[in-house]
Amino acid sequence: MEKRYIPSVDERAPAQGCGTGDACCTSCRTIQASPPEKEAPLWPHLAAAGGLLILIVLGEVLPGMPSLLRDAGFLGLYLWAGLPLWRSAVRSLVRGGVLDEFVLMSVATLGALLLGAFAEAAAVAVFYQLGEALQDRAVRRARDSITALLSVMPDRAHLVEGGSVREVRPEEVRPGQVVLVRPGERIPVDGVVRKGRTDLSLAVLTGESLPVAVEEGDEVQAGALNLTGVVEVEAVHPYAESSIVRIRRLVEEARERKGRVERFFTRFARVYTPLVVSIAAVVALVPPLLGLGSLARWGYRALVLLVISCPCALVVGIPLVYMNAMGVAAARGVLFKGGAVMDALARVSTVVFDKTGTLTRGVFALKEVEPAEGVRGDEVLEWAARAEAHAAHPVAEAVRSAYRERGGRLEGLDGRWREVPGRGVVAEVLGRRVVAGSDRLLHDEGIPHERCVRDGGVVEVAVDGRYVGRVRVEDAVREDAKGVLAALGRLGVRRVVVLTGDTEEAVQEVAGDLCIREWKAGLFPEDKVREVARLVEQAEGVVFVGDGVNDAAVLARADVGIAMGAGGTQAASESADVVLMEDSLHGVVEAVRLARKARVVLWENVVLILGLKLGLMVAGVAGLAGMWEAVIGDVGTTLLAVLNAVRAFGWGLRREGVRGGR
């Protein structure tokens, strides 16, 4: 890629690469901030499991091996693996009187020791610890995929002041100030490139793997990694309002909000463990009292029941699904505010879209010029562009841009210019009085004209009281909109509605292009809130998708609010339940797909865990399963649930093609 360096910038930049000074070292520290937590090694657990198996094999192949020696080995392995269990159990009982999985395992292994089943006691402790270590690795990696967003927070900014550069904290940079960003550093604040050209990596922010080229005048986001060139960026927001800080708040909030199923099983585990202990006590004591067998026999079966009933699989297997799903979503530029949002989005049946900036690009472009009889089209465009030379309305900007693209120059305005709010402008251009604006403005000015067109994208033009024609501009529909709507239909969305403050003519045209049958136009923000509230009462799972402009209230009112683009307003990103880092509709499909996938995997784990455990419990009480089957069943069930979550999300989830309506 061609690199264009501004001399004043290049002279201040040190050599690229590490080892060239403190500034570069600071850059490296910024990139490598918040390293992932170091994983505990697996080899001690694997070695203990191997030692256990060796002792068992030796006992089988060497019948003459002293039992005392073998039992001493089992006891040593139990002490190594069991003491941490006992510490955790005592801590649970002392701190809150909670009967958790540590208490279950400790009681079960102690009972096995008292019954002389040293091998079984050691097996329970060793394989439980091995299973815990494997679970911890899976959970940590799922968590790291989410918290990776928190590791890119820039901690230094190079402020340009009076020809010199000094290092400051990003919080000290004020809007309007300029910062220098070298290759290998992250953009410290949201801003606009004022000097230089470079390629940025937005991988952590939006999930986009390809570098994005930026140059003077382009907007950049805090947290983006500068790859190639030296640039100067003018801050447009304080650091506290930058997109990367908002993202961090969203991620931290997501980690605190549990899903409905997750909350249920968290509460269930508190009741479940005491219930299981009570059932085990009944199994151990009642049959001997009824003369159905010895206390040792039924006590052993009760211990088997305790081991099988350990709730680890539920405690780990359910949250891991949410963490993996949110990790995959974050990597693809979709931020969920917790598992509860995923649960709600999985039930979506109705999707409500804002129009401008959501289904459309939010940027007007010339569609056509309709001159009156005897007038040329280029004349109509010229009069409109010159009259609206100073107007700030997006429609006026589109008219001016179209005129410039055709080689026109905006001059001749002598200063007598008046804007009529909500109507248009009246201006003196080259000594002639030009009226450019809506149909209502022409009526106000008493100018006769052809058929009335009350479309917000039409500029009616009159010169010296004579109607000369109209200029039509349009807010083009997003290229991916039709494909996204088709993909949502395949995902089970039965109803699509458009709510907009635009005119009926404008929304009718967009709705027709996208085959949307339900829409309402001319709505104020409070009207949108009422309409969404009505839809929420009618159906379960109403999602509102907006671009963040005046959408905060309606985003909060929907069952799930989705805000497009991290550059949206702070109020919108705080009110929304899902934030799309890219200004693209593809994220809506990705969010629904991931939520639906998470729900499927979640219930797969629930059925798998409860089914296997109930079967083993019955077998244990009936004497068909012993301690070995119990420990293998408990650890195995947990690992199966973990592997199922990893399979569904950790090993990749193929994107569904939605471009072009595929």
Which is catalytic among the residues 100, 343, 354, 455? 354
How confident is the model at residue 24, as a pLDDT?
32
Note whether 560 and 348 are within 8 A (CB). Answer: yes
Q: Reply yes or no on whether the pLDDT at 242 is more than 90.
A: no
pLDDT in tens, 99-139: 667 777 777 777 777 777 777 777 777 777 776 776 666 65
Residues near 573 by Cβ (< 8 Å), separated by ≥ 6? Answer: 246, 250, 548, 563, 566, 579
HSE-up of residue 576 (Cα within 13 Å, Cβ side): 33
Residue 145 has pLDDT above 60, yes or no: no
In angstroms, rounded to a whole number, what is the distance separating the alpha carbons of residues 77 and 84?
A: 12
- Please tell me the predicted confidence (pLDDT) of residue 508: 86
pLDDT at residue 3, as a whole number: 32
Judging by DSSP bridges, how do beta strands 191-195 and 219-220 pair with one another? Answer: antiparallel
Encode burial over 207-220: b for 16+ CB neighbours within 10 A, e otherwise: bbeebeebeeebeb
Query: Beta-carbon neighbour count of residue 32 at 10 Å?
Result: 9
361-477 to CATH, choices 3.40.1110.10, 3.40.50.720, 3.40.50.10470, 3.90.1720.10: 3.40.1110.10
Q: Give the span between the Cα atoms of 147 and 152, in whole angstroms.
A: 10
Q: Can you read off the two tokens belonging to residue 353?
A: 């879209």
Of the two residues 97 and 126, the one the predictor is more confident about is: 126
**pLDDT at residue number 501:** 76
**DSSP annotation of 38:** P
pLDDT above 60: residue 16: no
Instruction: Please give the pLDDT value at position 141.
Output: 60
What does the pLDDT read at residue 420?
Answer: 81
In this prediction, residue 455 carries a pLDDT of 61
Query: What is the C-alpha to C-alpha distance for residues 522 and 504, in angstroms, rounded to an integer?
Result: 7
Q: Which of 241-245, 363-367, 395-399, 604-608 has the lowest mean pLDDT?
A: 241-245
Phi then psi for residue 13, to 5 deg, are: -85, 130
pLDDT > 50? residue 49: yes
Buried b (16+ CB within 10 A) or exposed e, 609-647: beebbeebbebbbeeebbbbbbbebbbbbbbbbbebbbe
Distances (CA, A) of 117 to 75, 298, 408, 491, 542: 10, 14, 94, 54, 57
Q: Which of 28-42, 462-476, 638-652 ranks highest by mean pLDDT?
A: 462-476
Q: What is the pLDDT of residue 591?
A: 93
pLDDT of residue 439: 84
pLDDT confidence of 474, banded at 50, 70, 90?
A: confident
What is d(CA 338, CA 416) in angstroms, rounded to the nearest whole number?
A: 56
Give me 259's structure tokens: 């899903």
- Please give the Cα distance from 327 to 581 (Å, whole number): 14
Geometric angle at alpha carbon 413, from 408 and 415, rounded to 5°: 155
Sequence-distant (≥ 6) Cβ neighbours of residue 27 within 8 angstroms: 156, 182, 184, 185
Per-residue confidence band for 489, with pLDDT thresholds at 50, 70 and 90: very high
**pLDDT tens track for 524-541:** 777 888 899 899 888 878
pLDDT at 135: 62
Residue 613's pLDDT band (boundaries 50, 70, 90)? confident
Residue 545: the pLDDT is: 92
The more confidently predicted of residues 505 and 172 is 172
What was the pLDDT predicted at 252?
A: 58
Q: What is the pLDDT of residue 286?
A: 92
When mean pLDDT is compared across 72-86, 131-145, 491-505, the lowest value belongs to: 131-145
The mean pLDDT value for 39-64 works out to 61
Rounded-to-integer distance, Cα 190 and Cα 172, Å: 13
pLDDT of the residue at 340: 82
Q: How confident is the model at residue 483 (pLDDT cuts 50, 70, 90)?
A: very high
255 closest CA partner among 320, 337, 371, 156: 337
The closest alpha carbon to 225, from 235, 236, 210, belongs to 210
The mean per-residue pLDDT over the stretch 597-624 comes to 89
pTM: predicted TM-score of the whole model, two decimal places = 0.65
20 band by pLDDT with thresholds 50, 70 and 90:
very low
Q: Tens digits of per-residue pLDDT, 179-203?
A: 999 988 889 898 999 999 888 887 6
Average pLDDT of the residues in 299-314 = 81
Higher pLDDT, 347 or 655: 347
Token pair for 81: 């693996």
Quick one: how many helices (H) and strands (E) in the chain? 22, 22
SS3 338: coil
pLDDT given at position 590: 92
- Interacting residues of 58 by C-beta distance below 8 A, sequence separation 6+: 65, 70
Q: Which residue would you say has higher pLDDT here, 85 or 328?
A: 328
For the four alpha carbons of 28, 32, 33 and 35, in that order, the dihedral sign comes to negative
Which pLDDT band holds residue 210 (cuts at 50, 70, 90)? Answer: low
Angle between helices 118-147 and 101-114 (to 10 degrees): 160
Find out whether 346 and 595 touch, Cβ atoms under 8 Å: yes
Report residue 376's pLDDT band, with 50, 70 and 90 as the boundaries.
very high
Give, in order, the Cα–Cα distances in Å from 219 to each of 154, 194, 210, 397, 510. Answer: 18, 10, 17, 19, 28
Checking if the pLDDT of 491 tops 80, the result is yes
**Percentage of the chain lying above the pLDDT 90 cut:** 16
Angstrom distances, CA of residue 30 to CA of 25, 157, 223, 365, 471: 9, 10, 10, 42, 52
Asked whether the predicted pLDDT for residue 656 surpasses 60, the reply is: no
- List the structure tokens of 527: 């009207």
As a whole-number percent, the residues of the chain with pLDDT over 70 amount to 75
Rg over alpha carbons for the chain, rounded to the nearest Å, is: 34
If one counts every other C-beta atom within 10 angstroms of the C-beta of residue 308, the result is 28
Angle between helices 312-331 and 118-147 (to 10 degrees): 20
Q: What is the mean pLDDT of the chain?
A: 77
Known catalytic residue at 551: no
* Contact partners, residue 636, CB within 8 Å, separation at least 6: 612
CA separation for the pair 156, 23 (Å, rounded): 10
Distance CA 570, CA 577 (A): 13
Q: Which of 135-149, 267-281, 648-662 has the lowest mean pLDDT?
A: 648-662
